Structure 1
């Protein structure tokens, strides 16, 4: 296991208010993400979160953060090792999660029993934030599969006239949680389901899709990530045009280099839509919050940040907004000498944010609490939209009606 470090110093030497006697608190932020196979999402999350700290640095005096990249490579056991290392670190404040849901579903009991404070800006699996056997240490600002399936199925039926969808789902806890929601959204007319494994390649994908088309499906509802999504998209494009079916996808495909690998097929007219949160940098006029986010990102990441070409933009957007909520929570606590006590204070502060926080997606008013099915979910059904790729690879949000 190798850790890469990005240092962000927020210890401000602020004119006459500076007090040499004030203690500087040092904290480590562990970014548990798939930097190997889904770098775009991991990098976007990192840029968004650190840009939020840069934007709000005036609120973080006498605090120093060390951002540590922990590459779990999509492996739940490797993620667990990161959690155990986190617990042994006397300066580790919280874990920032990545794209994959299985590590946090599989390790959910350990995370909550051991008090691993986990902030989730991407992984969408429904069970991740719903721990019913004690204190819940997981907070999400992202798509939530208990709601996403309803939006995806609604779009398939209403906008793609898909009366007979076929569910094409990765064989993981994430795929299984989506099946439950999507079948519930379909009501009595249940869909047929095909499961696929990670590393499915184009030859196998073609066989799967031919079977789905022969079954009479009107569209394919896909739940998977960028690697497998690339091959299923290529396979659909290589089927006779009159037999091709629209693909309505979860957002996992946007977490890697999917567009660059599929743009030739999309340019030929293959229909592809996917779910996102309802924010776009294309929205005009830009709010002051958006301008501030862009300014901070460009300051930190220079030419590596460009809203027109940013891959996995939802990672940045969610990372940024979650960073703003974290900053507000930090302003409400006084760090303790014991890191476990500071984590507990931070957890309670997140459940009791006492001021509205204006983010990119929306203004958050008490987004978390300690009661209810959605107690640790910052986004709701109305915050979820469908989207499509533009010709240049940027993402166009399809605003909800009504």
Structure 2
């Protein structure tokens, strides 16, 4: 009995020593629209973060051996819920930053709060200019995604070069994201000779029909429709347009909100009847770099995507993956999990060869956008829900 007790005490002491030797993790938050019924962007962002975290942890973690751990919350695409989630995440000890999801209006409304809390907000999807262009200083928002200010000129170039069109009609949501895009397109058209925005029409999330607005733009003389929408309203417009006579179906150039959900499934066979192109910034299709192959292998192991074409919301995966690696470097540079120190370190990072591109200096005190307008290209959906780039040069390294 005595020998048994001694053995038990030795085992207990050894176990306690192991537990005490294991340093506490460093936490990263993700607040996104997991409860949105048709969205796939939140899951894509989570996949990118988790793949990067696994690589970082396998290599020894951060701060000399502390593992990274992800904490998620569901804002259900509701601003008030998102703000409450940010408060709760900020109260988590050793949580250094929070990743956001695809709904720009939530993070525009969150700007005062995140700066009050001193909580770094990392944006791997939302494109509204105001997420990083704001008066709060020092800024706690960092984006590795595209901006609407870059998308407007891309729409104009694509309309001119691909469709030989000079008259655009804009269909846009009555939200901060919609207003950001309207301003960007107006500026781009104004800077381009012979181009004209003939009319715009606002819609609200949840509208039962967009057909009247579409027909108003067509009757105003639009040759191409610029669409700013997520998957629900985008698929609604496609189905309604497909029901029109063929000569009334204008080409559609879409922002990438439609790629953040089950757009192709919701559009159904109607998608084949519409000439639709969509903005993108990264594709796994044709990506041959070792990093791309490693991420694709992780996506296949963890989520069963057998081919690059099957990856839903690919920009969410790629942006979040690179942004997580940059955050880990900032944590190590800061030397602690202190949020103020991590925020400052993000502005001082050196070169990083990422999945999306090589970053000579991802962020500076004056620039909190890691990408540039050269990342933008256009893609098309196939009937099999595959998003295929329209140009072969999407994997060139800036």
TM over 0.5: yes
Deviation string 1:270-308 (CA, Å, 9 cap, x unpaired) is: 10011110x322225x11111221233344x14267533
Gaps of 5+ in 2: 1-17
Among residues 109, 126, 130, which one is paired with 2:129 in the alignment? 126
**Does the alignment pair 1:275 with 2:282?**
no
> Aligned residue for 1:184?
187
The structure-2 alpha-carbon separation of the partners of 1:219 and 1:391, relative to structure 1 and needing over 3 Å to count, comes to: same
1:194 Cα offset (Å): 0.1
Q: Looking at both structures, which has the greater relative contact order when contacts are Cα pairs under 8 Å and sequence separation is at least 6?
A: 1
Q: CA RMSD in A?
A: 2.1
Contact 2:170 2:217 in 1 (8 A): no
What SS does the aligned partner of 1:283 have? coil
Deviation string 1:348-384 (CA, Å, 9 cap, x unpaired) is: 1211113x2222221111110002xxx0001101111
**Does the alignment pair 1:345 with 2:341?**
yes
Contact 2:170 2:197 in 1 (8 A): no
**Does the alignment pair 1:145 with 2:141?**
no
What SS does the aligned partner of 1:308 have? helix
What SS does the aligned partner of 1:133 have? coil
**Does the alignment pair 1:158 with 2:140?**
no
What SS does the aligned partner of 1:63 have? coil
Contact 1:164 1:191 in 2 (8 A): yes
> Aligned residue for 1:113?
116
Contact 1:200 1:231 in 2 (8 A): no
What SS does the aligned partner of 1:199 have? coil
With normalisation by structure 1, the TM-score equals 0.86
What SS does the aligned partner of 1:267 have? helix
The structure-2 alpha-carbon separation of the partners of 1:331 and 1:379, relative to structure 1 and needing over 3 Å to count, comes to: same
Whole-angstrom distance in 1 between the partners of 2:26 and 2:331: 12
> Aligned residue for 1:381?
373
Contact 1:209 1:235 in 2 (8 A): no
1:328 Cα offset (Å): 2.1
> Aligned residue for 1:391?
383
The structure-2 alpha-carbon separation of the partners of 1:217 and 1:302, relative to structure 1 and needing over 3 Å to count, comes to: closer
Gaps of 5+ in 1: 1-18, 337-341
> Aligned residue for 2:15?
none
Deviation string 1:244-288 (CA, Å, 9 cap, x unpaired) is: 1011010001111101112411223x10011110x322225x111
Whole-angstrom distance in 1 between the partners of 2:19 and 2:210: 63
The structure-2 alpha-carbon separation of the partners of 1:333 and 1:297, relative to structure 1 and needing over 3 Å to count, comes to: farther
**Does the alignment pair 1:85 with 2:85?**
no
> Aligned residue for 1:49?
49
Contact 2:229 2:258 in 1 (8 A): yes
Of 220-229 and 208-217, deviating more is: 208-217
